[in-house]
Amino acid sequence: MRKLQSLFIGILAIILILFFGVRQLEKASGMAGADTLTIYNWGDYIDPDLLRKFEQESGYKVNYETFDSNEAMFTKIQQGGTAYDITIPSEYMIQKMMKEKMLLPIDHKKLKGLENIDERFLNLDFDPQNKYSIPYFWGTLGIIYNDKFIGEDQIKHWDDLWKPELKDNVMLIDGAREVLGLSLNSLGYSLNSKNNQELRKATDKLNKLTTNVKAIVADEIKMYMINEESAAAVTFSGEAAEMLDGNEHLHYVIPSEGSNLWFDNIVIPKTAKNIKGSYEFINFMLRAENAAQNAEYIGYSTPNKAAKTLLPKEISSDEQFYPSDEVIKHLEVYEDLGGKYLGIYNDLFLEFKMYRR
């Protein structure tokens, strides 16, 4: 009997040691709920100095993790495991997360500084009344080109990418929505098309672009364009801003027939543990000086009108990155296509990539 008691006490002691050991590991790794804010964001999508500033002001330790696609972010949060307090999806993914009931509603009474956001970027179709999200950055998809290889009047439209003189000299971003979308726009179709005939025509047209495509890549586009290894590339506006800083011969164009207007917003996943800290971070980023610092560091367009007034004039007045309402009128926001058509887009994009080989 005493042996059984000793065995039971020994097992209980091991359980307690393991429990408190795990708790200590959680604290050491910055995953311990109330004292920690766990943020899941795109890579290099916030000024690190702002994270340090937030830690000093709030007293929280920030645990910062990154993802490289909306889909990867969605899957990880859906699977559980890490309890993220903040994440920053794009508009179509916010729609999907809302449908899947993965987000907490935003309590607007807890917000400070929402009035700093430009009204044009509030109450949009993907999140009416901003019930689940707060604007973080916005931008466009366009073409960046090098004037050493291409004249300024030669790149104005998506169709210009098919010009014979650009043989083996165009880089594309590695994204089905972006690449299928530019072809759809070039044909006068919506980049959210669910018309199978339109999608087939767009893919057939893309297949004719293969002789001009040098590579389909992601972040490497910045280095390649700065180093003048390609004449033109399809990229996002913020990435283009960084490239322009690195090479004075580069220019960014939003095709006049239409393109993607995108938004990345802050949301609070339903699995969040530190709700109080989530609101403190949102309010911290709504402050004009912090939003301006972030916009200058990242290069994307801020939706914070108070922050925009603090930016250098050469940034805030640059219509490549803060296009006029007339230009914006011709742009289109990605919508959640649903599982069926997302799969079709991915399959057609894969067909295009295989066709290149």
Q: How many CA atoms lie within 13 A of 20 on its CB side?
A: 5
What contacts 199, CB < 8 A, 6 or more positions away?
Answer: 180, 184, 193, 344, 345, 348
Give residue-wise pLDDT tens across range 281-320: 999 999 999 999 999 999 899 999 999 999 999 999 999 8
Choose among 330, 71, 329, 328: nearest CA to 177.
71
Give Rg (Cα) of the chain: 23
Looking at residue 11, its pLDDT comes to: 58
Those residues of the chain that have pLDDT short of 70 are: 1-33, 356-357
> Residue 345 burial by CB count (10 A; 0-12/13-18/19+): exposed, middle or buried?
buried
- Secondary structure of residue 353 in the 3-state scheme: helix
Are the CB atoms for 144 and 162 separated by under 8 Å?
A: no
Looking at residue 33, its pLDDT comes to: 56
How far is 137 from 294, CA to CA, in rounded Å?
10
- Going 207 to 188 to 144 to 41, the CA torsion angle's sign is negative
How far is 319 from 254, CA to CA, in rounded Å?
10
Domains of the chain: 7-136+264-315 (3.40.190.10), 139-261+318-356 (3.40.190.10)
Stated pTM of the model: 0.82
